[in-house]
Amino acid sequence: MFDLAKLAYPDVQALLARPGGCAAILPVGATEAHGPHLPLDTDVTIALGTARRAAALLGAAGRACVVLPPVAYSVAQYAAPFAGTLGVRPETAVAHVRDVLSAAVRAGFAPVAIANAHLEPAHIASLRAACEAVTAETGAVLAFPDVTRRRLAERLTEEFRSGACHAGRYEGSLVLADDPAAVQDEIRRALPAVPISLVDAMAAGRTDFVQAGGTHAYFGAPAEASAEEGRATYAVLAAMLVEAIDAARP
């Protein structure tokens, strides 16, 4: 596993020249409120954790893969009422991700994949639009395992499937597994569960977390989070990403 940003260009040339080529994974998250207990970069942490584990799996199989510097600013309309949330316009998000993916393809990386951990519908739509544009421009097949799709969601945790999974047990466990020092654990342990499905709230026309019933920017059961569950969930997320990369191989 290699972090692209830490390599010198001759190192990258050597990876691209390997007989099997070199894949690239773009981690995508957001800078937005995740309750009073998780950091604003929760989604970035999860995306990076997934990408690095998937790259390590590929490396163990003898296949080169680099992890690109993450996207940390995305469409983040639902968390907008909360301090620290920094969202961008959908057209900005599409253009930025499109250009990064296109640059990776033109640089010779194949396949190019997205490890996404921000699940807001408008954000997912921006990623799909970016992928479609890059495929139309370059002909490259991109790997984007969208965990909001049922066939993948069914492989994740019960809380994730319930839709009540923003800064709750699901995301809290993942952050505890990779960056426990960033979790305000005393606060987390005291938080009551908010068993409200964001999926249902969005379908009902709610346009932000407050309207949806998340007055403290979290949904689910953060007090039940554990690093052990986080490590198990990462294993599933990384496996999904590797499967998508395998399917996109030229």
pLDDT digits (tens, 9 = 90+) for 220-241: 999 999 999 999 999 999 999 9
- Please give the pLDDT value at position 121: 96
Percent of the chain with pLDDT over 90: 98
- Does the pLDDT of residue 209 top 80, yes or no? yes
- Angstrom CA distances, 77 to 11, 73, 74, 80, 210, stand at 39, 12, 9, 5, 11
- Please give the pLDDT value at position 200: 95
CB 31 within 8 A of CB 84: yes
Mean pLDDT of 13-34: 97
- Please give the pLDDT value at position 193: 98
- Please give the pLDDT value at position 249: 87
In this predicted model, what pLDDT tens digit does every residue of 122-145 receive, in sequence order? Answer: 999 999 999 999 999 999 999 999
CB 43 within 8 A of CB 87: no
- The token duo for 51 is 């990408």
Q: How far is CA 71 from the centre of its chain?
A: 9
CB 155 within 8 A of CB 236: yes
Cβ neighbour number for residue 106 with a 10 Å cutoff: 12
- Please give the pLDDT value at position 204: 95
- Please give the pLDDT value at position 224: 98
- Please give the pLDDT value at position 250: 76
- Does the pLDDT of residue 109 top 80, yes or no? yes
What domains lie within the chain, and their CATH numbers?
Answer: 2-247 (3.40.50.10310)
Q: Which helix (H) or strand (E) holds 159?
A: helix 158-162
In this predicted model, what pLDDT tens digit does every residue of 174-196 receive, in sequence order? Answer: 999 999 999 999 999 999 999 99
Mean pLDDT of 9-25: 96
CB 225 within 8 A of CB 173: yes
> Taking Cα atoms as reference points, which of 142, 160, 140, 141 lies closest to residue 150?
160
Q: Does the global pTM surpass 0.85?
A: yes
In this predicted model, what pLDDT tens digit does every residue of 53-87 receive, in sequence order? Answer: 999 999 999 999 999 999 999 999 999 999 999 99
In this predicted model, what pLDDT tens digit does every residue of 111-125 receive, in sequence order? Answer: 999 999 999 999 999
- Please give the pLDDT value at position 212: 97
- The token duo for 18 is 């390997």
Mean pLDDT of 2-31: 97
- Does the pLDDT of residue 1 top 80, yes or no? no
Close Cβ partners of 65 (under 8 Å, ≥ 6 residues apart): 1, 2, 22, 23, 24, 25, 54, 55, 58, 59, 245
Count of positions (residues) in the chain: 250
- Angstrom CA distances, 250 to 22, 40, 247, stand at 11, 37, 9
> If you ran DSSP here, which 8-state letter would residue 191 be given?
P
What's the angle, vertex CA 68, arms to CA 65 and CA 74, rounded to 5? Answer: 140
Residue 64 forms beta bridges with which residues? 22
Mean pLDDT of 8-26: 96
